[in-house]
Amino acid sequence: MWALAEKLRGGRYLVMGRVGMDLSPTPPGSAIEHAESMGVAMGGSSANIAAGLVKLGAQAALLTCVSDDAVGRFCRNQLARYGVDARHVTTVTGEYRTSLALYETRVEDHQSVIYRNGAADFQMTRANVDAVDFARFDALVTAGTVFAAEPSREAAFHAFARARAAGLPVIFDVDYRPYSWPSPKVAEEVLSRAGALADLIVANDEEFGFMAGGIDRGLAKARALAADGAALVIYKMGPEGAITLAGGAETRSGVFDVDPLKPTGAGDSFLAGLLAALTGGRPLEEAVLRGSACAAIVVARPGCAPAMPDTEDLRAFLAAHPAPKPVAHSPEG
């Protein structure tokens, strides 16, 4: 774990995966089918993570593809607005389209509608990866969606290999989205292969369980990944907190008590907060705490990328909220 943290101290992150457009009915609480107006923002798990990292003082570049249209240009403009380096964002022509997500700012009866047919980000190739100078970065970060289709899948594994050859840690947020995959069996096999190559793995209990072939075996899967070489594994359990596995030890942590507006964006913000804290040299337990605080901030605000906290937001939140206690019980593995 110490070696991983030292490598992250430079704070230069190459984030691989999709950027898209998010639409949300306004005002908060509105249902999509009754909407009369929509708010628009940048979305996509990897783009959200990149924006979160920059807001917290790190550097981030995005590696992906966008469509040659107004939505693709919107995404480029948004990346620039957030200070994310877009030099490795490739525009693709033809009928490929940048992803579009509609989601509601409400918890009860929450609905999300995702448009991913012919997704532009799935057109990332080995050539796009080879255009990156990995020596410019300190770590590679990706969400699992990059592995859901070709040629992006092959390109992503190639990026893992390039990163490892350059001595960069591979950071993997499993982020399983069934609608992107051809079948659960393919997803289980590919995500497990990617997990075995990663140095830092973050997933929730359902995702680890999916990779293991059953949610009751999820914690055992997380423990196996930690034992097999991952320097840090974080097993998230929603409102029951998380289990952090590092250096042969397991540490349980709780979640902050907030009034959520929506369930979306928490995982992206958690990872950005965790990584930014490790970049700043903070101890692992504090880094997990700060990641949890970032997640709590985002679910209590409209939007995803716009809701990501900056350094002052995070400081104020931590000053106003006591550190959560870990849950009294834990899953069996």
Q: Is the pLDDT of residue 331 over 80?
A: no
The domain at 2-18+46-66+122-320 falls in which architecture? 3-Layer(aba) Sandwich (3.40)
Task: Kindly compute the dihedral angle of the four CA atoms of residues 114, 83, 315, 6, in this order, to the nearest 10 degrees.
Answer: 100
Instruction: Give the pLDDT band (50/70/90) at residue 326.
Output: confident
Q: Is the pLDDT of residue 332 over 70?
A: no
Average confidence score pLDDT of the chain: 95
How large is the greatest C-alpha to C-alpha distance in the chain, in angstroms? 54
Q: How far apart are CA 18 and CA 120, in angstroms?
A: 8
Alpha-carbon distance values, 42 to 160, 172, 308 (Å): 26, 21, 12
Q: How far apart are CA 182 and CA 164, in angstroms?
A: 28
Distance from first CA to last CA of the chain, Å, rounded?
22
Q: Residue 97 gets which letter from DSSP?
A: B
| Phi and psi angles of residue 178, each rounded to the nearest 5 degrees, phi first | -55, -35
Domain-by-domain residue ranges, the chain?
2-18+46-66+122-320
The arithmetic mean of pLDDT across residues 321-326, rounded, is 89
Q: The whole model's pTM is what?
A: 0.96
Q: How far apart are CA 159 and CA 154, in angstroms?
A: 9
164-207 pLDDT, tens digit each = 999 999 999 999 999 899 999 999 999 999 999 999 999 999 99
64-116 pLDDT, tens digit each = 999 999 999 999 999 999 999 999 999 999 999 999 999 999 999 999 999 99
Strands of 44-118, DSSP E: 59-67, 89-92, 100-103, 112-115
Q: How far apart are CA 25 and CA 172, in angstroms?
A: 31
Q: Is the pLDDT of residue 329 over 60?
A: no
Q: What was the pLDDT predicted at 277? A: 98
134-167 pLDDT, tens digit each = 999 999 999 999 999 999 999 999 999 999 999 9
70-82 pLDDT, tens digit each = 999 999 999 999 9
